[in-house]
Amino acid sequence: MTVNGSFESTRTRNLLYTDPQLSISTSADGSVRLIGQIDLTNGDAIAGALNKAWTKADAQAVDVAELKFIDLYGLRALAVLSDSPVGHPIRLDNVRPALRKLLLLLDWPAFTMA
């Protein structure tokens, strides 16, 4: 099934976090999906919620196909996950061209893109 232009898999997802701008869900394989917007107003809350998801040993990647907006504060909230607890770059899946360009310009070692 196609939802907002992205492929919705058959994997079961659990809601990890939601606010008026963003929802975060996780799947059994440890992947995380971000839907909406991340900015200064919700960056800290999102970092806390994602930190809980990444403490699991099976944490894999962040699907950003339905991420409509992210500012530098939001990127920082994601980047801190690469330091603790995982200790390696965060893999971003389904990166839109504008975000890909920004990440390439920043050359931030906290992220890899699939």
Quote the pTM value.
Answer: 0.82
Give the whole-angstrom CA distance, residue 76 versus residue 71: 9
- pLDDT tens string for the chain (114 positions)? 334 444 444 456 799 999 999 999 988 777 899 999 999 999 999 988 888 777 665 667 899 999 999 999 999 988 888 876 557 788 999 999 999 999 999 998 899 998
Gap between the terminal Cα atoms of the chain: 21
Structure tokens at 37: 């917007």
Give the whole-angstrom CA distance, residue 95 versus residue 60: 15
The DSSP H or E segment spanning 92 is strand 90-93
